Amino acid sequence: MSSTTPIHGHPLPISVYLVAGAEEHRIGAALASVQGWAAEIHVVLNLEVSDRTEEIAQGFGAVVHREPWKGFVGQKNSALAKTRQPWVFNLDADEVVPPQLRDEIGATIAGSGIEVGAYSIPRCTQFLGRWIRHGDWYPDRVIRLSRREGVFWAGEEPHAILRTPNRIGRLHSDLLHYSNESIDRQITKIGQYSEAFAVAASASGRRATLFDLVVRPWWRFIRGYLFRLGFLDGLPGYYIAWSNAFVVATKYTKLRTMPHSPSQRNALRASDV
């Protein structure tokens, strides 16, 4: 890894860690945005990936670890456990750290008090040719920068959340998110995420009510499009609001129709073999 960085001429005492699948088409941009100013980069790669993701990651100086999929929470905790620096930063393969955020991270690390355990960062997503700055997709704050000690990943699949026993501060520069290159790509995620939610919710004993099925989807549209000013993002904002409503309807419908007892779920799996 290059030792050249715009921040005082030396890498920061920070470990960047990613979990990834087949990401050869975009992981290079993510790693290029942290190369040089991060002291180390760790990538936990799904065991079955056969594209050039590992080769590309190694080309940017990352240490690559091949592991079976353990869910979003388990995979992120595994990646976190491999870091060695006092500060850590979680990055996804479809995200880029711009210079403004890099500089703010450097200043924050240099002046942070011990009472702050982690920092949330606003994330700005590019969709249908424009940066989305309203609605449910912005500021989309995510907790990514933290001290290494005392933090861990928790949450309900597929939404992993970083936990810290200390106070959470706020950064102001955007993390750039290139998640959905097209409507088709965004649609492909609905099945995966809704299924993960339904399985985890059912296993915890949760049930979908008529309120979940009828009220939640409409509220999601109204909240995002009107109350959170999604209409200011034009046609993409309109589509995002409806898409989010459909995601809510899909995941609760799956939960409603999912077998609840372990024996029922096992019988259903057996019938699919």
Same domain, 160 and 141: yes
Same domain, 59 and 164: yes
pLDDT of residue 104: 98
Same domain, 95 and 162: yes
pLDDT of residue 196: 85
- Can you give the chain as a three-state secondary structure string? CCCCCCCCCCCEEEEEEEEECCCCCCHHHHHHCCCCCEEEEEEEEECCCCCCHHHHHHHCCCEEEEECCCHHHHHHHHHHHCCCCCEEEECCCCEECCHHHHHHHHHHHHHCCCCEEEEEECEEEEECCEEECCHHHCCCCEEEEEECCCCEEEEECCEEEEECCCEEEECCCCEEECCCCCHHHHHHHHHHHHHHHHHHHHHCCCCCCHHHHHHHHHHHHHHHHHHCCHHHHHHHHHHHHHHHHHHHHHHHHHHHHCCCCHHHHHHHHHHHC
pLDDT of residue 10: 83
User: CA–CA distance from 116 to each of 81, 105, 109, 166 (Å)?
Assistant: 20, 14, 11, 6
6 is a domain residue: no
Last residue of a domain, one of 177, 212, 247: 177
Same domain, 170 and 203: no
pLDDT of residue 189: 84
Same domain, 115 and 20: yes
5 is a domain residue: no
Number of independent structural domains in the chain: 2
CATH number at residue 78: 3.90.550.10
Same domain, 193 and 117: no
Last residue of a domain, one of 157, 177, 197: 177
Same domain, 147 and 215: no
Same domain, 156 and 24: yes
Same domain, 30 and 100: yes
Same domain, 144 and 21: yes
Tens-binned pLDDT, residue by residue, of the chain (273 aa): 333 345 556 899 999 999 999 999 999 999 999 999 999 999 999 999 999 999 999 999 999 999 999 999 999 999 999 999 999 999 999 999 999 999 999 999 999 888 999 999 999 999 998 999 999 999 999 999 999 999 999 998 778 999 999 999 999 999 999 976 688 888 888 988 899 889 889 988 999 999 999 999 999 999 999 999 999 999 999 999 999 999 999 999 999 998 865 554 454 444 443
Last residue of a domain, one of 127, 157, 177: 177
199 is a domain residue: yes
pLDDT of residue 192: 84
pLDDT of residue 156: 80
pLDDT of residue 2: 37
Domain span at 98: 12-177
pLDDT of residue 260: 64
40 is a domain residue: yes
